[in-house]
């Protein structure tokens, strides 16, 4: 298929003939990521709700073959010169699950999709897009064959890519760890849906957002994104008003050999209404010729505290403000997460040997579960290595091995992993039935990536 397609017919189907003629061009594009290999899940158990608490075995070792896909997508985009040095553009992109058993939904515009104006001032656009924080992963993440690497497992993904217990908000208004309080169908702990792990991911694709990207000056570019408070909700005495800012500055120079960037995020009311979670990261790399090296470091702070909540009468529907929610997190306390990683790519002929090592440290802070007992062992380590051969600018084929070692209360895995021992979810079990060792998930595979 030609890289550039003049789609008069497509534009005509979407708009009036006069608009179709004004549209200069539409490009159809996509990426297909597929892998064939064998996955292994280690012994699993329920996560401890407190240090020394009893744990129950949930699954023994399980090995299975799988054909999987990772972030396969397709879309179309177009640009038009509107005069005065300005260019109007749009992009609509969605997932391409590539397997019937995939839990990914096929939804139009589910990935980076926006409309904007670009000129000498920079680029301004509205829609759904990856945050400037997430964009920095392109600077360092050169050590992955296929898609079994740290960017889809450890780095930026403290929510563990699943529905793991939320260590900032366990128990809801009761005492059951892992529950979430809902008042009038509104989650009081995580104001935005889709959270897990320690509340939410800092790697994210922000919806209902406005973005700005500056021109590149001497290799330097500034990016900013604001996600509006569309999800604002008032329930009784509690107002959840979630929004976020994500900003970054990055530089590339030395003929592209050197690159570095820093990001700062502020997520308001994501974990606790009235408080803002914050994070910063530094990522970059240097190409020495014989080896390309990438480095990443992240720090996130999630805010805890006593949260007022309300009750609703089943008989009358009246909302009665309560005196306060149990202090499931230490009052006005913080939960801090740290991750770091290194990546390598060594050119060999038409391909390269690639490897990565990443680590999520145990969460720091006091979590008020079971009369103040701590929850520990929430870290994990990941490594991967392999060889990727480049047949052309569009097609790569690789072989490799990847493994995640979880601590007893961690459940990190990769996006696109097959179901675990239970067969119903891809989230790993919390760990072996011992306080010393966690669960493991590993795969050896052959992958193919094609871009069009």
Q: Where are the domains of the chain?
A: 8-451
Given this model, what pLDDT does residue 58 score?
A: 61
How far, in Å, CA of 423 to CA of 409, rounded?
A: 20
> Could you tell me the end-to-end alpha-carbon distance of the chain, in angstroms, rounded to an integer?
7
The pLDDT score that the predictor gives to residue 97 is: 83
Give residue 175's pLDDT.
32
pLDDT in the model for residue 438: 57
Query: DSSP labels for 83-138?
Result: ETTEEEEEEEEEE---STT------TT-SSEEEEEEETTEEEEEEEEE-HHHHTHH
Nearest-CA neighbor of 451 among 147, 28, 140, 99? 28
Instruction: From residue 439, give the alpha-carbon distance in Å to each of 47, 190, 375, 393.
Output: 11, 27, 17, 38
Q: Tokens standing for 85? A: 């040095």
pLDDT at 170: 39
pLDDT of residue 191: 38
Give me the DSSP letters along 297-308.
Answer: EEEEEEE-----
The yes or no reply on domain 8-451 and CATH 2.40.160.10 is yes
- The pLDDT of residue 227: 92
| Cα–Cα distance, 242 to 230 (Å, whole number) | 8
Select from 314, 309, 260, 325 the least CA-distant residue to 286. 260
Token digits for 100? 């019937």
Alpha carbons 357 and 291: distance in angstroms, whole number: 16
Q: What is the pLDDT of residue 182?
A: 41
Picking from 125, 134, 13, the residue whose alpha carbon sits closest to that of residue 71 is 134
Phi-psi region of 423 (alpha: psi -120 to 50; beta: other; left: phi over 0): left
**Cβ neighbours for 271, distance < 8 A, ≥ 6 positions apart:** 168, 169, 189, 190, 199, 200, 277, 302, 303, 304
The pLDDT assigned to 160 comes to: 47
- Burial class of 113 by CB neighbour count within 10 A (0 to 12, 13 to 18, 19+): buried
For the chain, which residues score pLDDT lower than 70?
Answer: 1-24, 44-60, 100-106, 158-200, 234-239, 304-333, 365-376, 422-438
Question: CA 168, CA 170: separation in Å to the nearest integer?
Answer: 6
H or E element that contains 11 = helix 8-14
Would you state the structure tokens that stand for residue 25, as one six-digit string? 């061009």
């Amino acid at each position: 298929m030609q890289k550039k397609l003049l789609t008069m017919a497509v534009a005509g189907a979407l708009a009036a003939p006069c608009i179709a003629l004004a549209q200069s061009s539409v490009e159809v594009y996509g990426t297909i990521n597929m892998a064939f290999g064998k996955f292994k899940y280690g012994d699993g158990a329920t996560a401890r709700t407190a240090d020394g608490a009893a744990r129950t075995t949930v699954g023994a070792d399980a090995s299975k073959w799988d054909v999987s896909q990772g972030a396969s997508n397709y879309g179309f985009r177009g640009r038009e010169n509107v005069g005065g040095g300005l260019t109007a553009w749009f992009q609509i992109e969605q997932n391409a699950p590539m397997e019937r058993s995939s839990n990914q939904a096929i939804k139009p515009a589910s990935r980076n999709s926006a409309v904007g104006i670009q000129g000498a001032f920079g680029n301004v656009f509205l829609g759904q897009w990856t945050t400037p924080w997430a964009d920095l992963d392109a600077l360092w993440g050169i050590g992955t064959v296929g898609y079994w690497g740290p960017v889809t497992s450890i780095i930026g993904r403290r929510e563990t890519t699943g529905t793991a217990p939320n260590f900032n908000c366990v128990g809801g208004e009761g005492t059951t760890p892992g529950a979430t309080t809902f008042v009038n169908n509104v989650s009081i702990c995580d104001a935005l849906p889709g959270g897990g792990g320690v509340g939410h991911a800092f790697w994210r694709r922000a919806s209902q957002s406005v973005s700005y990207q500056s021109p590149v000056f001497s290799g330097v570019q500034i990016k900013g994104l604001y996600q509006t408070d569309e999800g604002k909700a008032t329930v009784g005495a509690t107002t959840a008003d979630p929004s976020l800012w994500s900003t970054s500055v990055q530089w590339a120079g030395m003929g592209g050999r050197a690159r570095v960037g820093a990001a700062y995020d502020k997520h308001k009311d994501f974990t606790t209404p009235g408080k803002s979670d914050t994070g910063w990261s530094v990522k970059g790399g240097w190409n020495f010729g014989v080896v390309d090296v990438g480095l990443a470091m992240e720090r996130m702070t999630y805010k805890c505290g006593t949260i007022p909540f309300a009750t609703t009468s089943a008989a009358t529907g009246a909302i009665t403000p309560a005196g306060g929610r149990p202090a499931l997190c230490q009052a006005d306390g913080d939960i801090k997460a740290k991750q770091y990683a290194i990546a390598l790519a060594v050119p060999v002929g038409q391909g390269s040997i690639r490897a990565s090592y990443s680590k999520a440290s145990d969460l720091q802070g006091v979590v008020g579960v079971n009369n103040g007992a701590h929850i520990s062992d929430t870290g994990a380590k990941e490594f991967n290595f392999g060889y990727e051969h480049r047949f052309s600018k569009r097609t790569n084929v690789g072989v490799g091995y990847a493994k995640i070692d979880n601590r007893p209360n961690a459940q990190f895995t990769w996006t696109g992993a097959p179901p675990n021992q239970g067969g119903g979810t891809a989230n790993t079990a919390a760990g072996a039935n011992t306080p010393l060792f966690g669960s493991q998930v590993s795969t050896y595979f052959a992958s193919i990536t094609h871009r069009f």
